Amino acid sequence: MKREYDFSKAKRGAVVSVPKGKTRITTRLDDEILAWFRDQVERAGGGRYQAAINEVLRQHVRHARSRWRKLCVG
Sorted by sequence, the CB contacts under 8 Å of residue 29 that are 6+ apart come out as 53
Q: Measure CA of the first residue to CA of the last residue in the chain; give whole Å.
A: 69
- Provide the pLDDT for residue 63: 94
What is the predicted pLDDT for the residue at 71? 81
What is the pTM (predicted TM-score) of this model?
0.69
Helix (H) or strand (E) holding 68: helix 49-73
pLDDT at 43: 96
Q: Long-range CB contacts (< 8 A, 24+ apart) of 44-50?
A: none
Walking along the chain (74 residues) 10 residues at a time, the average pLDDT comes out as 90 80 93 97 96 96 89 77
